[in-house]
Amino acid sequence: MRSHGKHTLALQHGQTGFYSAIELAVDVEDGDDGLFVVFQAPLESGWQFAAAFGIAYARERLPRSAFYGRVYKVTVLRADWHTVDTTAIALAFSAAHAFWQAMNQTESLGFDLDAASGIFRVSK
């Protein structure tokens, strides 16, 4: 079953901007536990690492019943960033939220950005 998710972060906090956008597709299959991330969108290796981290984090936050015995194959279809306003944590944030959306999760992901302070918070 293929599902899609996308997320755009565009926030200005004082003199600091935060920008990242990810669109991805997820195929879930029964089998040994696993996660595979493929980049269809052109993305530099440093940004690939950040996006893969966000996706892996979100996968770990899935309910245990959805996590074990399933292989997640994620294809990053589109990735946008800005030279000044994109950081690894911002791209990981968008990737995590895009994956969460693709999995139709409604509870909190535990990866938040406090707009008032410009601080990212990641739960265990």
DSSP string, 11-67: EEETTEEEEEEEEEEEEEEESSSEEEEEE-S---HHHHHHHHHHHHHHHHTS-HHHH
pLDDT of residue 86: 79
Please give the Cα distance from 68 to 58 (Å, whole number).
14
Q: What is the domain extent for residue 70? A: 2-122
Total tally of structural domains belonging to the chain: 1
Q: What CATH code is carried by the domain that includes residue 80?
A: 3.30.230.10
66-120 per-position pLDDT tens digit? 777 899 999 999 998 787 777 899 999 999 999 999 999 999 999 999 888 888 9
CB distance 15 to 56 below 8 Å: no
CB distance 5 to 24 below 8 Å: yes
pLDDT of residue 78: 93
pLDDT of residue 64: 81
14-63 per-position pLDDT tens digit? 888 888 999 999 999 998 889 999 999 787 877 899 999 999 999 999 98
pLDDT of residue 117: 86
pLDDT of residue 13: 79
Instruction: Give the list of residues 6+ apart from residue 107 with CB closer than 8 angstroms, or none.
Output: none
CA 5 to chain centroid, in Å, comes to 9
Rounded mean pLDDT, 1-10: 94
Please give the Cα distance from 48 to 39 (Å, whole number).
8
pLDDT of residue 103: 96
